[in-house]
Structure 1
Amino acid sequence: MEAYLHDNPQIKSIRVAAADLNGQPRGKRIARRYADKAIAEGTRFPYSVLNLDIWGEDIDDSPLVFEAGDPDGILMPTERGFVPMPWLDAPTALLPIWMFHHDGRPYDGDPRQALARVVARYGERGLTPVVATEMEFYLIDDRGRELRVPPSPRSGKRRHQAEILAMRQLDAWDNFFTALYDACEAMDIPADTTISEAGPGQFEINLMHQADALKAADDAWLFKIAVKGLARQHGFAASFMAKPYPDYSGNGLHTHFSVLDAGGNNIFDDRRAGGAARLGHAIAGCIAAMPGSMLVFAPHAGSYDRLVPGAHAPTGIAWAHENRTTALRVPSGSPAARRIEHRVAGGDINPYLFLAAVLGAALNGMEDEATPPAPITGNAYDKDLAQLPASWAEAIEAFDQSPEIVRIFAPEIRRNFLATKRQELRYMGELSKDEQQDLYLDTV
């Protein structure tokens, strides 16, 4: 890490930041001359900082605050090291950090530690999850009272129609996407294909699969920060809100995952002995945990606007082969690349909690050798299926009561996440729809 600063003498400012339970970066600005101390000794801030609500406020009656004296944890650099922040005017580097106790134990209230806990469970069984993410977002002009698509930098026109796979949309925003790809390259984020999506000013960028779930979550978290920062630099906003426009499709965040054994073989490969069975076990685990995981997949008041029938987001609990109306899809293709696509989550999630929930659920099913229901065929919206929790309040209670969630997440992070979401639910009712929209536009 010291080598990065040595090789980049232009860096004037350092940020250190960790993800809180809502995925918000929390941290400090540090003078470059003191960066060595942050690398070697870490930095400190209260445990409670990773348990703030969406407004950045303490949780009422949290045992981390007055009851405990609001003590500090130790935040050490992750294995990621420094990444540049090219959307800022001054040359700046971000050092991602995560939280530990003073005796070196991981702090169980840190969402990155929650994912590390799940990855360790895989490692104990000689297994490695391989993960890719699909990141959907809108480019938005938020200068007026209503959100609008920004005017095209090329034509000056606002196009308010669907633009699925429209090349002219990619061309219109070429300067922004060129800057974004340059940033991803500098930040070691494996950005692959970009497409224009169904909504006006909506795009999707795929982040390539990799056999490091922690890095995949880091990439998704850093990607969201970079997209929003670069959009502001270009004169508009970018939003991963689940449903910024009531009349257009929402933003999803899908993940594709498979699992490798110690020999590097995909255990879902259905040409190999037991491959189809292991794939089924993982699907069964994901289905069993889906109701309890809904609070992770749809963590905000506006998240549930996306989850309505016929809106390209799942509402029923089912799986299928090559079917995008279901919550779980098994894509076609080479058996060696057999994988599960999990399609429930919105773009407004915390990537660490999201991947912990998905991968933890799949491992639960594999450990139990659980049997999945039969795959469906046809339109899932027309089927009589068990339904996902349809409201924030239902999802909170499902998370609280879920035995599957108990197996995936440590007690402290479950307690903190529930307290956060219950406080947000209580206070969100005081805001108008417009005030909620303003809040989420600049946060999630």
Structure 2
Amino acid sequence: MSDWMTDLPPSAAEYLENRRLDEVECIIADLPGIARGKAVPASKFARQKMFYLPDSIFYQTITGTWSDAAGEAGFTEADMQLVPDMSTATAAPWTGDWTLQVIHDALDTKGEPVPIAPRNVLKRVVQLYRDKGWKPVVAPEMEFFLVARNIDPAQDIAPMMGRSGRPAAARQAYSMTAVDEFGPVIDDIYDFAEAQGFEIDGITQEGGAGQLEINLRHGDPVKLADEVFYFKRLIREAALRHDCFATFMAKPIADEPGSAMHIHHSLIDMKTGNNVFSAEDGSPTREFHHFIGGLQAHLPDAIAVLAPYVNSYRRYVKDHAAPINLSWGHDNRTTGIRVPISDPAGRRVENRLAGMDCNPYLGIAASLACGYLGLIQQREPDAQFRGDAYDSDDDSQREIPRVLGSALDLFDEATDLHSVLGEEFARVYGIVKRTEYEEFLQVISPWEREHLLLNV
């Protein structure tokens, strides 16, 4: 056995026990969160300490178009050094041979972290917390739809066919019968997750037709972002085995709820191991309120990261299980910022604004960045909201941008947020997303043809 294989995570070592490793997938997440990289024979991986990939992978839009974000040096497609993080080694159990996946970190030729690489952006934010003596803890919730195969973009997306032979039904939240409809797909999700060493905290049926939610155990932000990154591929592969698609679009089906990636946050004092959000007597601390104040003050600037596509804003619809405001409240799912029921040791803040279509590294980084700014600036939150925030006529209730163009305008001017996420990342991200938005504006939709062609 090669030296590098003696230090594999337990789940990867167990997966390969008494088996011959054939291939290693060397991967990294680009701005949308797509896995980029190379698949190499195991024997070659054992001989290399790194491999190279052009930095241009971070300048592409979701359609593959190149944006003009290369900077003063111009578009040279300079190579980055991609160095494996062997703690991320995990199985690819859907492949036909014995394959491992390994997430890599992007370094420049001087060995410094590439500032626009999403994993590096999250590491930067986490380090800012650690420099203050805080250990951030997150727990993401992943919502997604299982839908019928769709190979024609002109056709509406439809729910998948359940094992009963009927299409998945909507408005069956928390129904175990509805979950049973997807039993074979869920079985494969569990099997793949177990092979990869991931702990699922639970799977539930959500309110949409064919919509499910997977909760992950709380932990280190980078580790949890890695898991969400892996999970998206895992779930897609499980769905394909059963003649359906898994989609993480924020709003794939009209008149159905959208899919979120709710992010739960807490902080641990690195000296005492105590929850920073709770005082010794169990009451909420100043830090707890400042974190919420930071979310309220800075989330509008970060929405372009949490809701990165034009489709993302179709999710923000009143009474469709998605927040349309920045109010906060205890155990209140109509507010954008929710404080779940917990004991003092488990006190946490849930950001309900992020869509499942966001890059998990960037979504978690942006949410943590807003909370961090609140802590540093000692931001005080608004008064706790009580009641149904959807029906509020309170003019002071803060709202969020409702279209990508407005969100990008806010992001481009958000110098405080840029200082936490990194100036170079903010520059490149803004240009790439603006290019993407302009691409969308060149497309004429069926609605426009139907209602404007002969009527205006």
Match 2:321 to one of 312, 325, 337? 312
Partners of 2:300 and 2:407 within 8 A in 1: yes
* 1:270 CA displacement: 4.3
Deviations 1:135-159 (A, max 9, x none): 0000010247332112112x21113
Match 2:268 to one of 260, 265, 272? 260
With the length of structure 1 as denominator, give the TM-score of the two structures.
0.92
1:106 lines up with 2:118 in the alignment:
no
1:125 lines up with 2:132 in the alignment:
yes
Alpha-carbon distance in 2 for matches of 1:23, 1:203: 20
Alpha-carbon distance in 1 for matches of 2:22, 2:322: 44
1:364 lines up with 2:373 in the alignment:
yes
Alpha-carbon distance in 2 for matches of 1:12, 1:214: 28
Equivalence for 1:419: 431
Equivalence for 1:442: none
Q: Which letter does structure 2 place at the counterpart of 1:36? A: A
* 1:433 CA displacement: 5.1
Equivalence for 2:213: 204
Deviations 1:25-75 (A, max 9, x none): 11111122201134x2x11011111231102232136338x8152210101
* 1:200 CA displacement: 0.8
Equivalence for 2:42: 32
Match 2:21 to one of 11, 14, 27? 11
Secondary structure (helix, strand or coil) at the match of 1:253 reads coil
Alpha-carbon distance in 1 for matches of 2:329, 2:351: 11
Q: Which letter does structure 2 place at the counterpart of 1:70? A: E
> Equivalences for 1:220-369 in 2 at 5 Å?
220-262=228-270, 263-272=272-281, 275-369=284-378
Alpha-carbon distance in 2 for matches of 1:231, 1:292: 35
Secondary structure (helix, strand or coil) at the match of 1:299 reads coil
Secondary structure (helix, strand or coil) at the match of 2:313 reads helix
Deviations 1:353-409 (A, max 9, x none): 111111121111112222111111111122232210110000001001113312321
Between the two proteins, the alignment pairs up a number of residues equal to 430
CA gap 1:51/1:37 in 2 versus in 1, 3 angstroms: farther
Q: Which moved more, 1:336-345 or 1:263-272?
A: 263-272
In structure 1, list runs of 5 or more residues that go unmatched: 435-444
1:177 lines up with 2:186 in the alignment:
yes
Match 2:391 to one of 371, 382, 403? 382
In structure 2, list runs of 5 or more residues that go unmatched: 447-456
Alpha-carbon distance in 1 for matches of 2:343, 2:132: 25
Alpha-carbon distance in 2 for matches of 1:185, 1:56: 33
Partners of 2:225 and 2:360 within 8 A in 1: yes
Alpha-carbon distance in 1 for matches of 2:191, 2:114: 34
Match 2:162 to one of 152, 162, 177? 152
Equivalence for 2:412: 400
CA gap 1:148/1:274 in 2 versus in 1, 3 angstroms: closer
Q: Which moved more, 1:174-183 or 1:77-86?
A: 77-86
RMSD: 2.0
Alpha-carbon distance in 2 for matches of 1:235, 1:159: 14
Partners of 1:78 and 1:97 within 8 A in 2: yes
* 1:229 CA displacement: 1.7
Match 2:59 to one of 21, 43, 51? 51
Q: Which moved more, 1:157-166 or 1:367-376?
A: 157-166
* 1:411 CA displacement: 1.2
Q: Which moved more, 1:77-86 or 1:404-413?
A: 77-86
Equivalence for 2:82: 75
CA gap 1:230/1:431 in 2 versus in 1, 3 angstroms: farther
Partners of 1:26 and 1:50 within 8 A in 2: no
Equivalence for 1:138: 145
Alpha-carbon distance in 2 for matches of 1:389, 1:218: 28
CA gap 1:176/1:6 in 2 versus in 1, 3 angstroms: closer
Alpha-carbon distance in 2 for matches of 1:201, 1:25: 25
Q: Which moved more, 1:156-165 or 1:412-421?
A: 156-165
Alpha-carbon distance in 2 for matches of 1:158, 1:235: 13
Alpha-carbon distance in 2 for matches of 1:350, 1:428: 19
Secondary structure (helix, strand or coil) at the match of 2:162 reads coil
Alpha-carbon distance in 1 for matches of 2:443, 2:100: 36
Alpha-carbon distance in 1 for matches of 2:279, 2:419: 27
1:391 lines up with 2:391 in the alignment:
no
Alpha-carbon distance in 2 for matches of 1:6, 1:374: 51
Equivalence for 2:92: 85
Q: Which letter does structure 2 place at the counterpart of 1:82? A: A
Partners of 2:257 and 2:321 within 8 A in 1: yes
